[in-house]
Amino acid sequence: MSLRDSINDGLKQSMKARDAARTSTLRLISAAIRDRDIAARGEGASAEGIADGEILALLGKMVRQRQESAKIYEEGGRLELAAKELSEITIIEDFLPRQLTAAETEAAIAAVIAATGASGIRDMGKVMAALKETYTGSMDFSTVGAAVKARLM
């Protein structure tokens, strides 16, 4: 079952269960996927829409956006809005693969560096591309970039 199908099934189940918060979040996810499908069609993509890898990247972006929003709401004293953002994060993360631990991330970085034969900072793009291809949704690439850079220097 594709990621798109599992999101649609989750939406149907939440509607049947009358879970308003989950339904709302899954509708936001579906709308974001549809928007990306439409944008991809303009770029000459297939009629089926975006692939699961792009959906995973989109979900990761949605999680980061909500984390930033929750932080801003907490700083502003709007704890009820921060709690809503955090609950949306947990719903979105249900569709993301398990996040790698720090040790697993370091091992993956070392394996990709060895596999690509990267030797210097000029090879960072090649390493990051290989990591994104294999570990999309399983790693936080905002922190991985710094770790890759430190290893290649």
Map out the domains of the chain with their CATH numbers. 3-93 (1.10.1510.10), 102-152 (1.10.10.410)
Phi-psi region of 101 (alpha: psi -120 to 50; beta: other; left: phi over 0): beta
Per-residue pLDDT band for 45 (boundaries 50, 70, 90) equals low
Mean pLDDT for the stretch of residues 112-125: 85
- On the question of pLDDT at 50 being above 70, the answer is yes
Pairwise CA distance, residues 106 & 144, whole Å: 9
Task: Give pLDDT, residue 83.
Answer: 94
- On the question of pLDDT at 46 being above 70, the answer is no
Mean pLDDT for the stretch of residues 38-66: 82
The lowest-confidence range among 55-59, 75-79, 88-92, 140-144 is 140-144
Task: Note whether 138 and 105 are within 8 A (CB).
Answer: no
Mean pLDDT for the stretch of residues 109-122: 86
Q: Determine the angle formed by the axes of helices 124-135 and 102-116, rounding to 10 degrees.
A: 120
CA distance to 10, 24, 26, per residue, from 4 (Å):
10, 16, 11
